[in-house]
Amino acid sequence: MEPNNSKQRRPWVVGVSGASGTPYAAAVLRGLLAAGESVDLVVSRASRLTLLDETGNAFRDAHWREDLAAWLARGADGKPDAYGDVDVSDVRYWAAGDLAAGPSSGSYPAKGMLIVPASTAAVAGVALGLSKDLLQRVASVTLKERRPLVVAVRETPLSGQTLKQMVALDEAGAVVLPASPAFYAGATHIQDLVDFVAGRVLDAAGVPHELYRRWRGELGGGSPGAPRAG
């Protein structure tokens, strides 16, 4: 069921590819929802296997809402109820094979797209303008409509071909954002590192959040034991 204000919705489309890093996607989704943003979700077929392997959570078309809530409640450390009940009522899910889905058209009123995490296959497909699935199609539409596209690449090392494709995405107007955690924010837990990357994705999209301590120009401000921002 769509929310009552569906006619006024202007969501961010979040695409989850098959790369390792499903906790990054969960943190971005929680951040968007906490900021009051509407979300359209595309989960690739490959990412379902990664999600199952990394979290033990399945993601099924017929039960996507329950599966999404269970996924978002889970912490990066594997604790299944770290975030309690996450309200997913303003999330709309589109199957990866549905090329007639709303976001596949430029006339669909989306704010932009965040691909988190982005596999090298997803990078290549978007850079080449392919539309083998809905994730790639929405990314192509996002670029042609000059909407924000953030691509959180999760791979190392990077081949020369992938580097060229990342340059092509940058030249096309996308923000290429490697999933590269920083340590100046005083991380003491795996979730802190995940939240830093998720926060940088939201920064690139212009979505406010309090996922990590920002640099204030003071050495040691993020050392363990220092009070966190918020």
| Cβ atoms 68, 91 nearer than 8 A | yes
Residue 214 in domain? no
| Cβ atoms 107, 147 nearer than 8 A | no
pLDDT in tens, 37-87: 999 999 999 999 999 999 999 999 999 999 999 999 999 999 999 999 999
3 or 211, greater pLDDT: 211
Residue 32 in domain? yes
pLDDT in tens, 9-39: 899 999 999 999 999 999 999 999 999 999 9
141 vs 19, 110, 113, 118, 184, CA distance in Å? 22, 10, 10, 17, 36
134 vs 32, 51, 100, 121, 150, CA distance in Å? 21, 18, 9, 14, 16
Residue 212 in domain? no
Contacts of 112 (CB under 8 A, 6+ apart): 12, 13, 142, 147, 148, 149, 150, 205
The pLDDT assigned to 222 comes to 61
Query: How are strands ordered across the β-sheet holding 175-176?
Result: 91-95, 39-43, 12-16, 112-118, 149-153, 175-176
Residue 2 in domain? no
CA 148 – CA 150 distance, rounded (Å):
7
pLDDT in tens, 136-178: 999 999 999 999 999 999 999 999 999 999 999 999 999 999 9
Residue 227 in domain? no
Confidence of residue 221 (pLDDT cuts 50, 70, 90): low
Residue 217 in domain? no
Domain that holds residue 41: 10-205
- The CATH number of the domain holding residue 146 is 3.40.50.1950
Residue 228 in domain? no
Selection from 90, 141, 89 nearest residue 115 by Cα = 141
Once rounded to an integer, what is the mean pLDDT over residues 181-194? Answer: 93
Number of domains forming the structure of the chain: 1
Confidence of residue 218 (pLDDT cuts 50, 70, 90): confident
Q: 225: left (phi > 0), else alpha (psi -120 to 50), else beta?
A: left
Selection from 179, 162, 169 nearest residue 136 by Cα = 169
Residue 21 in domain? yes
